[in-house]
Amino acid sequence: MKSEKGMTLLTTAILVVVIAALVFAIVYYARMQYAKERLEDIKTDLLLVQLKVKTIQEEYTLEKKKEEVLKGTKLASMQDDEIIKQFLEKEKIDVNEKNKKYYVLNKENLQELDLGKVELDEDAYYVVEYTTNEIYYTKGFTYSDGKTYYKLTEIQNLETDSDE
């Protein structure tokens, strides 16, 4: 009688479990790396916009607060836009707040400000507040804790796993 050697059912099951664990680990690692890179991209874009807003705000102050210097569209005049409506519901911004200058920047405004390399999704805007230089991203960034963050100051405080 011939002896047949091959993998037993138990060996096959163990091999399948090991391969599945490896695939899971690789996919998890790839997703974490993508999330880290996306967070860093958003931070960088928001910081570039903030730097330009600070420059405009300084010019606005020097020009004795002439609103023609401020770039973008007033947030109050865009309240009917669906993206802005959803954003205002989530962030609870009072567009009529005294001494606040909220403006919306779209892709064309970014081009005018020489920020053409700053990424902006089709269904998103940057909202800037010229008196405090706060920047908002209407699409937000959903962090690993499940919460979505819209403000630059909040997004800057988010840590990636490699920072911890």
Q: Tens digit of pLDDT for each residue in 40-66?
A: 999 999 999 999 999 888 888 777 777
pLDDT at 161: 46
Mean pLDDT of 3-29: 89
Tally of helices (H runs) and strands (E runs) in the chain: 4, 5
Mean pLDDT of 117-123: 87
Predicted confidence band of residue 162 (pLDDT cuts 50, 70, 90): very low
Predicted confidence band of residue 126 (pLDDT cuts 50, 70, 90): very high
pLDDT at 3: 61
Cβ burial, residue 31 (10 Å; 0-12/13-18/19+): exposed
Mean pLDDT of 81-110: 86
- Around Cβ 112, how many Cβ atoms within 10 Å? 12
Predicted confidence band of residue 2 (pLDDT cuts 50, 70, 90): low
Q: Where are the domains of the chain?
A: 9-156
Of the two residues 25 and 76, the one the predictor is more confident about is: 25
E-strand stretches of 39-106: 73-74, 102-105
